[in-house]
Amino acid sequence: MAVKYKRAFLKLSGEALAKKDPATGEQKEMFDVEVLDRITSVIKECTELGCGFGIMIGGGNIWRGKFGAGVNRTKADHMGMLATTINCLRFQDALQKKGLDAVVMTSVPMTAFAETFNYEKAVEYINAGRPVIFAGGAGIPFISTDTAGVVRAREISADVMLMAKNVDGVYSADPAKDKNAVRYKTITYKECIDRGIEALDPSAFALASDSGIDIIAFALKEHDLIKAAVCGETIGTLVTAADVECEIYND
């Protein structure tokens, strides 16, 4: 099997790494070892097929800054940056156990246990087959990891950005609240902004559109979809800056 994309940027939510109660969906533990094993196994397969990876992980399984009641927002976001770093170090360990010499780079200096971000060095590592995991978001408060992910994807010249979410694509409305919501197969950034679709932060949509980078949004629970996306199969929703007609799934 051949890959379509030689360099992919994978954005994972912190919640995706958490172990949850199957009955209630509530978080039970900070990390789910089985989930980590499956995701890193797929990344190893894709790497062996010739796809280089940049990876960014949120910190929501540990701390969500904007919900830190009583905490100064700037301070809360700093805590969130530390949470992402914990997740990235855990993910690095899981990749290393698969035989991948992964590197963690932080947006703020934490040189005792990770390298400070340098885009030229990051590209060098990825070209050598070493996944690079970006911690700390953008390194400044009030910027989501979605937006920071688009920035890093652009900096490393990724061919595509893979957004692994809790839902299986981009919908016209929240499918949990609106039974008439439709799932898009293809949609433009402009349409997302015009229609007020909140699959990403508006700033992330705008930046991705300006950068001309395509995003594929899909459900992380089907871990093999990472490989399917890298190999060019039609999955989830393609969000693009190209001038194309919007398509929806008929299922």
The domain spans of the chain are 7-248
User: Residue 197's pLDDT band (boundaries 50, 70, 90)?
Assistant: confident
The region of weakest confidence among 111-115, 131-135, 219-223, 227-231 is: 219-223
CA 191 to chain centre: 21
Specify the pLDDT at position 193.
Answer: 85
| Architecture of the structural domain at 7-248 | 3-Layer(aba) Sandwich (3.40)
Residue range 161-176, pLDDT digits in tens: 999 887 889 999 888 8
**Residue among 170, 167, 161, 168 nearest 214 (CA):** 161
Residue range 202-251, pLDDT digits in tens: 888 889 888 889 999 998 887 789 999 999 999 999 999 898 899 999 86
First to last CA, the chain: 27
Specify the pLDDT at position 250.
Answer: 84
Question: Is the separation of the CB atoms in 115 and 143 below 8 Å?
Answer: no
Specify the pLDDT at position 20.
Answer: 86
User: Residue 68's pLDDT band (boundaries 50, 70, 90)?
Assistant: low
- Compute the average pLDDT of residues 82-99: 97
Mean residue pLDDT across the chain:
91
Residue range 41-63, pLDDT digits in tens: 999 999 999 999 999 999 988 98
User: Residue 65's pLDDT band (boundaries 50, 70, 90)?
Assistant: low
**Residue among 53, 244, 243 nearest 162 (CA):** 53
User: Residue 112's pLDDT band (boundaries 50, 70, 90)?
Assistant: very high
In the chain, % of residues over pLDDT 70: 98
Long-range contact pairs involving 194-202 (C-beta distance under 8 Å, separation at least 24): 197/170, 197/171, 197/172, 199/163, 199/165, 199/170, 199/171, 199/237, 199/239, 200/146, 200/163, 200/239, 201/144, 201/146, 201/147
